[in-house]
Amino acid sequence: MSRAGRSLRPARERRPVLTVLAVAAYLIMLGPALFVVAVAFTSGSTITFPPEGFSLRWFGAAASYRPFLDGLGTSALVATAATVIALAVGIPATLAVHRGRLPGRAVVQNLFLSPIVLPELVLGLALYQQLMVGLGVTASGVLLIGHTILLLPYAVRVTGASLALADPALEEAARGLGAGPVTTFFRVTLPVLRPGIAAAAVLGFVTSFNNVPLSLLLQGPGTETLPVAMLQYVQTSYDPVVAAVSVVLLLAAVVVAVVAERLVGFNKIFGGIGS
Amino acid sequence: MRDGSDAVVRLAKVSRHFGDVAAVDGVDLEVPAGSLTALLGPSGCGKTTTLRMIAGYEHPTAGQIFIDGRDATGLAPEKRNIGMVFQSYALFPHLTVAKNVGFGLKVRGVAREEIRRRAHEALELVGLSELSGRRPRELSGGQQQRVALARAIAIRPSVLLLDEPLSNLDARLRVQMRAELARIQRESGITTILVTHDQEEALQLADQMVILDSGRVAQAGHPRKIFPAPANRFVATFLGYENFLTLPGRGLVTIRPEHVAVLPESGTAPDGGQSRPGTISRITYRGTDSLVTLDVEGDTILAAASDPDLHEGSRVRTFFPDDRVVPLAS
Ligand SMILES: Nc1ncnc2c1ncn2[C@@H]1O[C@H](COP(=O)(O)OP(=O)(O)OP(=O)(O)O)[C@@H](O)[C@H]1O
Ligand SMILES: [Mg+2]
């Protein structure tokens, strides 16, 4: 009897093994981040754990270090611009692939998704060769183009996922009610896709902001992104300034996540990505 | 260009081929003003495709479609003034009920006050005026359907198109909505085309029944004309005539199970029909009566009977009344 009843136990019953595993997983994921956070508030001058005392001096140091400030500006600018351009190109492409009677739509779809499988170093090198050396495009221009290409698959996939979930009859219904194709797009298609577009924007921005390989390859004077600046700093000095910057970035990521959750909801953002 | 008939919708030799598949194949159809026409037939017979061509979502590969007497064959959907209710309802998830219903009027540039009044009127007709502030996801399936109906009616369409409007509802709600649909259609007087594969629904609602078979019209007419006199075996089968047999002097005929009488083997044969001896091979209890399967001289015959004295294996006499036997074109 007790054996047969086991599978019927309530879901809330304690499961010690599972709990231990879950806690361990969180520790492994968050441990390094917590370590960095602790180090950032040290009053000592080296990265040691446990930190010596408490101070905000490394945040001050980070805020007055020019390459970080410039890098932050560049990163924010590139991430914003690349996200906007990738969406502006990616959304119409998604619509064409999903709703249009495009000949060879599979080819178009694969073309837009290909950067995801292409190693970023290869992409960066190709852009460097062809655009910067070959055509003389400026460093910032190439950086922007590179990041846009990097984000296109996200724009196409994430908006595509929410488009695939949307009922195609919605647009037909709008047409039948008297709305032309343009009105239908702005009054129905776009609003229905809004959560998907917001998700693609958040994902795109974060991806661009955190990118290292492409930014590193395409860097030029005045176009170092924040991660590149941090990398270069770490190569020469080993003090808690980088930890302080990391904490700021971590905080920013949390803020973005909370705002995104408030705006559209996480399950909406990440629910459709797999499909 | 007017076509000279007073039908609201007229299809002239309309075909739609998808590659090798003839989804609709030379359909002629006239839908009189104010009538309710039911398109019915088994799955894949071309009902939805026909409806979508009338709405303008699909274009005929041959033939012409006239709406309000004008050639609408190549016209975009937004130029046709048609109210369509989709099987999935297709309510706009980002708009309230009232905004959904007002959508067609808004894109037509109707003044805001007028939109509100007419949206309210349409919602009142379907009995949902108190829910106008809700979002579609906050409604039950039946309510969503009523909103879809109100949205289609609000634009005062030339014709209302309904694609299996009741198929997503549970059995009880379906019967309720069927009556509701009949009332709304009668009160609004809107010319309506209803797609269904439920013959009961068509019989109950339609002024005109059009039965499709593989993209062609198998038979069309008033239910009271078609039901007692199916033109061929396909229509008969579809309408629930289970028995097909050859009777002396009448050729190939069909008869409904409830019209076949099962009588004792001995005794005199009644007048006004033909008798044949048979053996009961199976009895399936159905509540109000039983479905009796008989072997009648090699033909398998189904009869509805409520006589408790019938048993499997009994020898009986089957009786086919002349006025219930329907001759079929072979
Ligand atoms: N877009 C399409 N491409 C190819 N074939 C199609 C298309 N639409 C419909 N068909 C085919 O045309 C035929 C008729 O389809 P239709 O949807 O009109 O049937 P239906 O009578 O509405 O069936 P159901 O009762 O299942 O809804 C089917 O064989 C279907 O496979
Ligand atoms: Mg259908």
Q: DSSP string spanning B182-194?
A: HHHHHHH---EEE
Output the pLDDT for position A23. 87
Residue A98 vs residue A18, higher pLDDT: A18
**pLDDT at A4 exceeding the cut of 70:** no
Which candidate, A36, A55, A33, places its Cα nearest to that of A47? A36
Q: What local confidence, expressed as pLDDT, does residue A275 receive? A: 33
Residue A9 has pLDDT above 60, yes or no: no
Task: Give the span between the Cα atoms of B186 and B127, in whole angstroms.
Answer: 15
C-beta atoms surrounding B106 within 10 Å: 18
User: Angle, to 10 degrees, between the axis of helix A139-165 and the axis of helix A120-127?
Assistant: 130
Nearest CA-CA distance, residue A184 and chain B, Å:
9
Judged against a pLDDT cut of 70, whether residue A271 lies above it is answered with: no
State residue B63's pLDDT score.
Answer: 95
Q: Please tell me which of the candidates A167, A177, A192 has its beta carbon nearest to residue B107.
A: A177
Q: Give the total residue count for chain A.
A: 275
Model confidence over A219-268: pLDDT tens digits? 877 788 888 888 888 888 878 888 888 888 888 888 887 887 776 665 55
- Cβ(B87)–Cβ(B47) under 8 Å? no
Peptide bond into B32 cis (omega under 30): no
pLDDT band at B92 (very low <50, low <70, confident <90, very high): very high
Average pLDDT over residues A33-61: 79
User: Are residues B94 and A175, on separate chains, in Cβ contact within 8 Å?
Assistant: no
Closest ligand by atom to B42 CA: 1
Q: Which residues contact B242 (CB under 8 A, 6 or more apart)?
A: B256, B257, B302
pLDDT value of position A12: 58
| Residue A136 backbone phi and psi in degrees, to 5 | 70, 25
* Span A208-222, pLDDT tens digits: 888 888 888 878 777
Cα separation, B106 vs B102, in Å, equals 6
- Percent of chain B whose pLDDT exceeds 70: 98
- Measured in Å, residue B85 CA sits from the centre of ligand 2 at 13
- Point out which residues pair with B290 in neighbouring strands: B285, B305
Domain with CATH 1.10.3720.10 in chain A: 59-270
Q: Is the pLDDT of residue B83 over 50?
A: yes
Q: Say whether B78 and A180 touch across the interface (CB within 8 A).
A: yes
Q: What are B252-306's pLDDT values in tens digits?
A: 999 999 999 999 888 787 888 899 999 999 999 988 889 999 999 889 999 998 8
**Per-residue tokens: A218:** 């395409």
Tell me, what's the pLDDT at A47?
Answer: 76
Mean of pLDDT over chain B: 91
Roughly what angle, to the nearest 10 degrees, separates helices B141-154 and B171-188? 20
DSSP conformation class of A145: H
Give the Cα separation of B242 and B225 in Å (integer): 19
The CB-side HSE value for B23 (13 A sphere, CA atoms) comes to 18
Can you give the pLDDT at residue B56?
A: 95
Query: CA-CA distance, B236 to B230, in Å (whole number)?
Result: 5
The CATH fold of domain A59-270:
MetI-like fold (1.10.3720)
pLDDT at position A101 is 65
* B149-205 confidence digits (pLDDT tens): 999 999 999 999 999 888 877 888 888 888 888 988 988 899 999 999 888 889 989
Residue B56 touches chain A, beta carbons under 8 Å: yes
Residue B228 gets which letter from DSSP? T
The mean pLDDT value for A58-76 works out to 83
Strand order through the sheet with B261-264: B261-264, B315-321, B273-285, B290-296, B299-305
Asked if B88 lies within 8 A of A180 by C-beta distance, the reply is: no
The DSSP bridge pattern shows strands B290-296 and B273-285 to be antiparallel
- The whole-number pLDDT of residue A248 equals 86
Query: Which residues on A lie below 8 Å from B108 (Cβ)?
Result: 178
Q: How far is CA B94 from CA A211, A216, A228, B88, B127, in A?
A: 35, 43, 42, 16, 22
Q: Which two tokens stand for residue A3?
A: 């054996």
Cα separation, B125 vs B128, whole angstroms: 8
Q: Distance of CA B267 to CAs B247, B263, B297, Å?
A: 21, 9, 19
Q: What local confidence, expressed as pLDDT, does residue A265 receive?
A: 62
Which residue has the CA at smallest separation from atom 2 of ligand 1?
B18
The region of weakest confidence among A208-212, B75-79, B266-270, B312-316 is B266-270
Q: What is the pLDDT of residues A134-162, one digit of tens each?
A: 777 777 888 888 889 888 888 888 888 88
Per-residue confidence (pLDDT) for residue B278, from 0 to 100: 92
Q: List the residue whose alpha carbon is closest to atom 31 of ligand 1.
A: B44
Residue with tokens 């909103």: B147
* Selection from A258, A271, A226 nearest residue A66 by Cα: A226
Among all residues of chain A, which has the CA nearest to that of B104?
A177
The number of angstroms, rounded, from the C-alpha of B112 to the middle of its chain's C-alpha atoms is 37
Letter for the amino acid at B258?
E
- What integer is the mean pLDDT of B89-116? 94
Pocket probe mutation, ligand 1, options B14, B15, B45, B210, max atoms within 8 Å of Cβ: B45
Contact between chains at A169 and B88 (C-beta distance less than 8 A)? yes
Burial of residue A24 (CB within 10 Å: 0-12, 13-18, 19+) is: exposed
Please report the pLDDT score of residue A1 as a whole number: 40
Strands B208-213, B36-40: pairing kind? parallel
Question: Mean pLDDT across the stretch A34-39?
Answer: 82
Chain A touched by B107 (CB under 8 Å)? yes
The answer to whether B216 and B50 have CB atoms below 8 angstroms apart is no
pLDDT in tens, B134-152: 999 999 988 998 999 999 9
